[in-house]
Amino acid sequence: MNMIKNFSHSQMAGQRLMVGFDGTELNNDLRFLINTLKVGGIILFAMNIENPRQLNRLCTSIQEYARSVGQPSLFIAIDQEGGTVARLRKPHFKEFPGITELKTKSEVKTFATEMADDLTTLGFNMNMAPVLDVTPKNIQSIMEKRTFGHDPGRVAEMGSAFIKQHQAKGIMAVGKHFPGIGRTTLDSHLDMPEIDISAADLESFDLIPFNAALNTDVAAVMLSHIHYKKIDSHWPASLSPEIVSALLRNRMGFNGIVMTDDLDMGAIINHYDIYTAIHQILTADVDIALICHKGPNIEIAFEEIKKKMADDTGLREKGVQAVSRIMAGKEKYL
């Protein structure tokens, strides 16, 4: 708690945002995000990336500018799973195979180490990986080409190896998509999938890799936008006190960083406005709201977090705990 006692309300609110932006260099939009909204993290996409020299210069300038305006170092994140989901592509960057192609734990270690080395050199400190979802054999899973496979034990072993190698190299691993989206056939980028399974079904299959990740001290967990109707009848996982506070925090004992998937995805924007989403995030013990696209929702989210933490004693206390977890992660890895 001591590390955040001098934070302003704006700093407390901003640390809870990870956002995207348009551009390939430190521009006025980025300066506004860092200095005015005091965001805790930036996520980069293909549109922000040209070549290694430009990318390293961008990441370095982000951290230098944050320091120059009295802000803590930022999480600089990327989706670099390998295979179909990778922002770094040829001819300027090494391309990695999808994790479905990795057959042994030794291959995973080499894969994760080489990838982490590349990310560190470029200036990243966080990777939105590994995927810890398990794809059942009997369905056409949306995640079929992005997972370690059908066996929860194998996914747990491979995912844990990935996490260890990444974090040993200083890259924070983000296990996703809690509590597991391998059973889904609808893409949550388009709309909200529903899963009608019991807590016991979830525990005996989907949660096995996440338990292993927690035992491996994974730095962060990303929540899915899936509605698990028998766990929380009203809210999707990313907005659910039952899934985040009750299951992940209390029952499974995770005290690391918890973030949403992108709040710009159809699963959320088709059903909730940003005000509702932010209220649920604060209530559910989620630390970071991920908003990947430039737009008014980033500033609205900042103002809403600041207002609710100022007006509500309970949310303020939760907010102090959330920012403490965020800063603990930064102190350890940044």
- pLDDT one-digit tens code per residue, 299-323: 999 999 999 999 999 999 999 999 9
Q: What is the pLDDT of residues 8-41, one digit of tens each?
A: 999 999 999 999 999 999 999 999 999 999 999 9
Residue 328: the pLDDT is 97
Q: Does 3 fall in a domain?
A: no
Q: Does 4 fall in a domain?
A: no
Residue 2: the pLDDT is 58
Average model confidence (pLDDT) across the chain? 97
The CA-atom distances, in angstroms, between 198 and each of 194, 203, 205, 233, 277 are: 12, 9, 11, 12, 25
Reduce the DSSP state of residue 280 to 3 states and report it: helix
Q: Does 82 fall in a domain?
A: yes
Cis peptide upstream of residue 91 (ω within 30 degrees of 0): yes
pLDDT at 1 over 70: no
Q: Does 150 fall in a domain?
A: yes
Residues 90 and 41: beta-carbon distance below 8 Å: no
Contacts of 180 (CB under 8 A, 6+ apart): 132, 133, 134, 202, 205, 206, 207, 209, 210, 224
Q: Does 1 fall in a domain?
A: no
Q: Does 106 fall in a domain?
A: yes
Reduce the DSSP state of residue 277 to 3 states and report it: helix
- The whole-number average pLDDT for the span 288-299 is 97
Q: What is the pLDDT of residues 185-206, one digit of tens each?
A: 998 999 999 999 999 999 999 9
- The whole-number average pLDDT for the span 149-162 is 98
Domain count of the chain?
Answer: 1
The shares of helix, strand and coil residues in the chain, as percent rounded to the nearest 5, are 45, 10, 40
- The whole-number average pLDDT for the span 236-248 is 98
Residue 106: the pLDDT is 98
Contacts of 91 (CB under 8 A, 6+ apart): none
Range of the domain at 134: 9-333
Taking the C-alpha atoms of residue 147 and residue 54, their distance in angstroms, rounded to an integer, is: 31
Residue 273, amino acid = D
Residues 320 and 275: beta-carbon distance below 8 Å: no
Query: If pLDDT is split at 50, 70 and 90, which confidence band does 5 have?
Result: confident
Sign of CA dihedral 55, 218, 34, 302: positive
Q: Does 83 fall in a domain?
A: yes
Q: Please list the alpha-helical segments (H only) found in 32-93.
A: 52-68
Taking the C-alpha atoms of residue 205 and residue 73, their distance in angstroms, rounded to an integer, is: 37
Query: If pLDDT is split at 50, 70 and 90, which confidence band does 271 have?
Result: very high
Q: Does 2 fall in a domain?
A: no
Taking the C-alpha atoms of residue 251 and residue 89, their distance in angstroms, rounded to an integer, is: 40
Q: What is the pLDDT of residues 70-111, one digit of tens each?
A: 999 999 999 999 999 999 999 999 999 999 999 999 999 999
CATH of the domain at 113: 3.20.20.300
